[in-house]
Homo-oligomer: A and B are copies of this chain.
Amino acid sequence: MQSQLALKHLRQQEQELAVLRERQRIARDLHDAVSQTLFSAGLMLDKLIARGGHDSFTEQTLLRLTDLSRSATAEMRTILYELRPDALANADLADLLTNLADIVSARTQAAVETRLDSLTLPDDAQIAVYRIAQEAINNLIKHANPSSVLIELVNASDAVTLTIADDGAGFDPAHSGAGRFGLANMIERAERVGAALHIDSEPGQGTVIRLRLESVWEMA
């Protein structure tokens, strides 16, 4: 009886999985259309700006439109990572982080510096690092208003370390509670893969987030 219930549940799940996979595939096709559109728009804007002869309002608006098209393009790439099975797990972490850096660069006024070692971590660790970086970068875009940002990934013999540092608004970690800024989420993700997450911030002094995974290769 119990195993019959399990089999029924199994079949329902199989159906739901099939539906989700089909939707992911269709969303991916549609995604390609939007990305092509954004690409065309970017080319047109470049051409229009290169042509020159615009008054300063037009010029400013065209430059702003170029930023918007750049950020939408980077965000569409980020969506594609979610829609392609295994895309996150198989990607070079340096590429994933470069894409996040592009978003920061398009969405803020900050100068963004990246120093990224090429590497692909075991699935769980790779996805944890990427999700934590996503969350950190969302916070930074929404709250920090920095003038410079550093995203660094170092692959040393003893550990892999991700650092995301900004010179923006900062916050008081003691008074923000783990629930704010998705910090609880980040900490939990780090713990689940045995990584250490340090958040160093105070109001007006920017934020440094450092994630350290020791001997992560043994997890694979």
Main secondary structure of the interface of A (DSSP, over half): helix
Contacts of A75 in B (CB 8 A): 30, 33-34, 37
Check if B44 sits within 8 Å of A64, measured CB to CB.
Answer: yes
Expressed in whole angstroms, the minimum distance between the Cβ of A95 and any Cβ of chain B is: 17
Closest to A141 in B: B33
**Candidate in A16, A33, A51 with the most chain B CB atoms within 10 angstroms:** A33
Contacts of A13 in B (CB 8 A): 10, 13-14, 17
Q: Return chain B residues, CB-CB under 8 Å to A98.
A: none
Give the B-binding residues of A (Cβ under 8 A): 2-3, 6-7, 9-10, 13-14, 16-17, 20-21, 23-24, 26-27, 30-31, 33-34, 37-38, 40-41, 44-45, 47-48, 51, 53-55, 57-58, 61, 64-65, 68-69, 71-72, 75-76, 78-79, 82-83, 134
In the bound complex, CA of A9 to CA of B9 (Å): 11
Residues A78 and B10 in contact in the complex (CB < 8 Å), given A20-B21, A20-B24: no
| Pairs A-B, 4 closest by C-beta atoms | A3-B3, A27-B82, A23-B82, A37-B72
Question: CA A72 – CA B75 in complex, angstroms?
Answer: 14
Given contacts A23-B82, A24-B20, A79-B27, contact A58 B54 (CB under 8 A): yes
